[in-house]
Structure 1
């Protein structure tokens, strides 16, 4: 695993379900808050159609690709709805005591 990278302050993330994209060493990573408020970090690109997942709808712990409707579990990265069949990489996310959000990229 790589070193943790500060991507934003938690206060900069949308309240309720929502997502932002961070560029970490040339890799686009979505930082998303699920419907219960839990934060997740995963690759931003849908494995089916090379589309940004951050633009998709969030329901529960899933994010839906806006183009073809693929859904991914934000905790595991596993596809939960076709047409995607390959998972997205999930990264480690931590929030420190000052409210800074750090992401450590998976290998």
Structure 2
């Protein structure tokens, strides 16, 4: 897998979310304590930025219609979304956050 540095851990608010780009792919980074999760930054229901939503527990809630997604799996946990959003692999290297869009083979 190829990883790209996208930010530092300190750039992501604890229990918060920020938007980054990996190449031309929009990615929402969610921080839960020492862990960082990466999801495709487009809601599968309304095609708006998930990074503008709210984080609670292990859920990222879309700001527009309230669709909820599990930050670990990308699966919807609350309507109206019924399709998951892709999740991406994350590595922490010192203070740097690296994301890979590649699928493991």
TM-score with structure 2 setting the length: 0.91
Of residues 13, 17, 22, the one that matches 1:24 is 22
Aligned residue pair count: 103
State the alpha-carbon separation in 2 of the partners of residues 77 and 66 from structure 1.
16
Deviation at 1:37, TM superposition (A): 4.8
Residues 40, 86 of structure 2: 8 Å contact kept:
yes
Q: Which of 91, 100, 104 is 2:100 aligned to?
A: 104
Verify the 8 A CA contact 2:38 2:71 in the aligned structure 1.
yes
Map 1:1-107 → 2, pairs under 5 A: 2-14=1-13, 16-34=14-32, 36-96=33-93, 98-107=94-103
- Which segments of 5 or more consecutive residues in structure 1 lack a partner in the other structure? none
Moved more, 17-26 or 36-45: 36-45
Of 16-25 and 80-89, deviating more is 16-25
> How many Å separate the matches in 2 of 1:78 and 1:12?
25
